Amino acid sequence: MADLLGSYSVPFLGISLIIAALTYISYKLLSSYIQKWFEMKPIPGLEGTYPFIGNALMFKTNAGDFFGQILEFTTEFRNTLLFKIWVGPVPFVVLYHAETVEKILSNPVHLDKAFAYKFLHPWLGTGLLTSTGKKWRQRRKILTPTFHFSILTDFLEVMNEQAEILVKKLEKLAGKGPFNCSNHVTLCALDIICETAMGKKIFAQSNSESEYVKSVYKMSDIVSRRQRTPWFWPDFVYYYIGEGKEHDKTLKILHSFTHKVICEKSENMSYVESDSDSDQGKRKRRAFLDMLLKTTDEDGNKLSHQDIQEEVDTFMFEGHDTTASSMNWALHLLGSHPEVQRKVYQELQEVFGTSSRPINTEDLKKLKYLDYVIKEALRLFPSVPFFARTLCDDWHISSYKVPKGANVIIITYALHRDPRYFPDPEEFRPERFLPENAAGRPPYAYIPFSAGLRNCIGQRFAQMEEKVILASILRNFTVEACQKREDIRPVGELILRSEEGITIKLEKRVSQTSSN
């Protein structure tokens, strides 16, 4: 009998230890949750908050409806400095006032991305967008030189080439009534980022049915849905009754594409090792991927294939969808305000005259009013409508304490509508960004590219691209919006889009006669 009992003692002990460990973990998680619940109780919050599920049951499933709810909450709590939302057992403190936003974004302690970003890890890994701590600091230091102005200038040629292709496509639609411009602009942005980030032409503008193109949008939708439905956060639930299989199928397409390009580039490095002039005297065009393959860390080690894939996937996502969103909203606003469009065209004529030549860096500096237009479009419709951080220390604001480990979500869309700094905030007024009008405005009242240490590393690239594409369109066409602002419903997922797209009409200008 003793031998029989002994034979069961080892597995029994193992099971007991597992149960004890799970009990301890559950106790610690429950204790942390209860502690945060009571510590954050004084902070203003929503009605209908329940233990463990928080406010999740009141969230609408449609992305447009959900974003509309969030905006209603920001209006309701406009006169408070903050309010809280519980998404399942995870608390979020919502900020959209310059003075509170600055205290988070300017503080080097609070650099960690929030819990919700973990659902981007399967796609983007822990690259520059999603990494934290030491890894983020190392990556930022390594990648910053790749966005040097001299390197960005090399990319201007790609932007001009793709803008020319877009203009030729739009010529076929000019004078033929309303059409949705969203897809055309987005495919142009995708062609630009593919060639500049990977040195790979994918001809998205010619092949709008590209599997990769469709998968980028599908993955964005999948991740956003999971972020706002906490019952799908556990992997076993997500894969058993959720979209887990569709998620992995889409992920495979995205990773296979970038993996293949990286492998091809690595194998052909012998042909691109030198940046010197070729035999024909023309310098080889660089791409971010070329630079990443040559980059070394502080110890002199090259980045691994996984490191490079994380950053390439991040560039591909962050580098096309955000700029496309901004350009589409700008076209709608320009088409809705012909007097602003006339001012932009007058500036374009002053810079280019009747020439149809490509845009150069000196031209970009002269297009100041177009710059104000882009900034105002980003104020009204920031490409990233909200983003979040995890507090790495207790934070006190007014009489409230927000405990370490809580999440802070910054609603850029609402921040940019603060009437203290933007009177009549729903009005489209590019003149707000004239130097004399912007003087004295708090720097954290307008943050379309975030701010502080984790500001967008690619903002100069984005601004250059938007100027080139919009200038190219407006040099060739007049734009008329076919939707009223009140009829357009913005959908704030990972990127801010119009639910029904952007519908415009184009008419060909007849003044382009010279190529000098």
Q: What is the pLDDT of residues 380-426, one digit of tens each?
A: 999 999 999 999 999 988 889 999 888 999 999 999 999 999 999 99
Residue 300 DSSP symbol: S
Residue 161 has pLDDT above 60, yes or no: yes
Region 83-110 average pLDDT: 92
Pairing of strands 90-95, 407-411: parallel
| Upper half-sphere CA count for residue 129 (Cβ side, 13 Å) | 25
Res 29: pLDDT: 61
Region 60-75 average pLDDT: 88
Q: What is the pLDDT of residues 167-194, one digit of tens each?
A: 999 999 999 999 999 989 999 999 999 8
Q: How confident is the model at residue 28 (pLDDT cuts 50, 70, 90)?
A: low
β-sheet bridge partners, residue 85: 92
Q: What is the pLDDT of residues 31-41, one digit of tens each?
A: 778 888 888 88
Q: What is the CATH number of domain 56-508?
A: 1.10.630.10
Res 298: pLDDT: 74
- Residue 154: CB partners within 8 Å, gap ≥ 6? 285, 286
Pairing of strands 477-481, 503-508: antiparallel
Element (H, E) at 410: strand 407-411
Res 36: pLDDT: 84
Chain mean pLDDT for the chain: 87
Residue 286 has pLDDT above 90, yes or no: no
Res 119: pLDDT: 93
Phi, psi of 70 (to 5 degrees): -60, -40
Task: Report how far Cα 71 is from the mean position of its chain's Cα atoms.
Answer: 19
Q: What is the pLDDT of residues 372-388, one digit of tens each?
A: 999 999 999 999 999 99
**Percent of residues, the chain, with pLDDT higher than 70:** 90
Q: How confident is the model at residue 272 (pLDDT cuts 50, 70, 90)?
A: very low
Res 3: pLDDT: 56
Residue 14 has pLDDT above 80, yes or no: no
Q: What is the pLDDT of residues 187-218, one digit of tens each?
A: 999 999 989 988 888 888 887 777 887 888 88
Task: Report how far Cα 416 is from the mean position of its chain's Cα atoms.
Answer: 17
Question: What's the token pair of residue 479?
Answer: 């734009």
Concatenate the DSSP letters of all residues of 216-243 into one string.
HHHHHHHHHHHHT-GGG-SHHHHHHHSS
Any idea of the CA torsion for 204, 266, 259, 158, to the nearest 10 degrees? -20
Residue among 346, 339, 121, 357 nearest 223 (CA): 121
| Global pTM value | 0.89
Q: What is the pLDDT of residues 291-325, one digit of tens each?
A: 888 887 777 778 888 899 999 999 888 888 899 99
d(C-alpha 106, C-alpha 126), whole Å: 22
Q: How confident is the model at residue 513 (pLDDT cuts 50, 70, 90)?
A: very low
Res 227: pLDDT: 87
Residue 123 has pLDDT above 50, yes or no: yes
Lowest mean pLDDT among 48-52, 82-86, 426-430: 48-52
d(C-alpha 516, C-alpha 513), whole Å: 9
Residue 13 has pLDDT above 80, yes or no: no
Res 274: pLDDT: 46
d(C-alpha 22, C-alpha 12), whole Å: 15
Residue 371 has pLDDT above 90, yes or no: yes
Query: Of the ranges 108-117, 220-229, 338-347, which is most confident?
Result: 338-347
Res 505: pLDDT: 97
Q: Name the more confident of 8 and 496.
A: 496
Q: How confident is the model at residue 276 (pLDDT cuts 50, 70, 90)?
A: very low
Res 99: pLDDT: 95
d(C-alpha 326, C-alpha 502), whole Å: 12
Res 303: pLDDT: 85
Q: Return left, alpha or beta for 431; rule: phi > 0 is left, psi -120 to 50 is alpha, else beta.
A: alpha
Lowest mean pLDDT among 21-30, 91-100, 260-269, 492-501: 21-30
Residue 278 has pLDDT above 50, yes or no: no
Residue 101 has pLDDT above 50, yes or no: yes
Res 326: pLDDT: 96
